[in-house]
Amino acid sequence: MPPHPVPLGFVFRSRAKEEKAPADKAPVTDSKQTRHPQAPKGRPTPKRSEAQSQRRSVANTSLSRKDAAKRQREERRQAMDRQRQALASGDERYLPVRDKGPVRKYARDFVDSRFNIAEFFLPMAVVILVLSVVRVPSVQSIALLLWMVVIVLIVLDSAVSGFRLRKQLNERFPDQRRKGAVAYGLMRSLQMRRLRLPKPQVKRGERP
């Protein structure tokens, strides 16, 4: 029997196609990295408003050192202006820390509502100093005596005022911090009324 004819295509088939075929039919593996379907870079595209806000925040944080110092000076100046106005009007919001609080306010009102011998110390001291300069022994003796009388009166008046102020504070503010309030009031009593800061908010003789 004649042998089966061998197809010529099998003999003369290109070996390059056989080597290339497996590479073309290689299975495609899925990537394990998940990403947003509308974001080819693996993250959602930010909205326009979000992008604008981010750009503004970057622009604000990228201020130069000179601009930042200028802004700080302006803020300090505004804070000082508010504090100066508060010292004149008694606005509690912008007062210095040492003057804030109901305890300190009552101490100020207590001192401002009465006459204090210590507030007249400066004019009396000027008079006594002038008398002590006069080269007359009797006048100098009077000046020395006046010095002693003024000092004793100031000490006694301050002791009585401090005792009364402490008693009032204990009765009115039993649950609040009162440390330093008496000394704060006594230091205020040493100043002339028109020079006190914050400005007096009560009249003499008026109950705080």
Q: What percent of the chain has pLDDT over 70?
A: 70
Query: Exposed e or buried b for every residue in 176-204, given b needs 16+ CB within 10 A?
Result: eebeebbebbbebbebebeebebebeeee
Query: What is the reported pLDDT for 189?
Result: 94
Residues of the chain with pLDDT under 70: 1-63
The residues, ordered by sequence, that sit 6+ positions from 101 with a Cβ below 8 Å of its Cβ are 176
The alpha-helical segments, DSSP class H, found in the chain are 8-11, 15-24, 48-61, 65-89, 102-112, 121-133, 137-172, 181-189
Query: Rounded to an integer, what distance in angstroms lies between the CA atom of residue 123 and that of residue 43?
Result: 79
Query: What is the reported pLDDT for 21?
Result: 46
Query: What global pTM score does this model have?
Result: 0.64
Query: What is the reported pLDDT for 107?
Result: 96
Query: What is the reported pLDDT for 20?
Result: 45
* Spatial contact of 196 and 188, defined as CB atoms under 8 Å apart: yes
**Which residue shows structure tokens 């009249």?**
203
Query: What is the reported pLDDT for 56?
Result: 59
Cα 7 → chain centroid: 96
Query: What is the reported pLDDT for 120?
Result: 92
